[in-house]
Amino acid sequence: MDEKLYSVTNIKNVWIIRPNGELDMSNAMSFKDEIKNKYLQQGRVNIILDLSQVNYMDSTALGVLISLQRSCRMNGGALVLCGLESNLKRIFKMTSLDSVFLIRETVEQSLKLFLEGE
């Protein structure tokens, strides 16, 4: 996957990953493989996915998010989603995935879960 499709920041051992544009059938699987190889297999298991720059997501991408969440949990960490725009919020609500994922409005709120155990 092209590095330009997402950016990464690390704050106190929490990885903030910001995909850009669309997450769909054309790139979701390579995104998942890259996140697993670069972060999860290296023991970096606390991840915040900031979706504020994602303007479209299909069912393949939703499956990838579920897989990444499972991988984080299996390795003793967690995946938190944040920055969902109204159309993504609607998709998560319609599919009941809003009850499956930890979702916060902002990166700052998400970081509190890891740093303060909110």
State whether CATH 3.30.750.24 applies to domain 3-115.
yes
Q: Where are the domains of the chain?
A: 3-115
103 neighbors 90 (Cβ within 8 angstroms): no
CA 68/CA 31 separation, integer angstroms: 10
C-beta atoms surrounding 43 within 10 Å: 10
CA 42/CA 107 separation, integer angstroms: 22
Give this prediction's pTM.
0.93
Per-residue pLDDT of the chain (118 residues; tens, 9 = 90+): 445 789 999 999 999 999 999 999 999 999 999 999 999 988 878 999 999 999 999 999 999 999 999 999 999 999 999 999 999 999 999 999 999 999 999 999 999 999 986 5
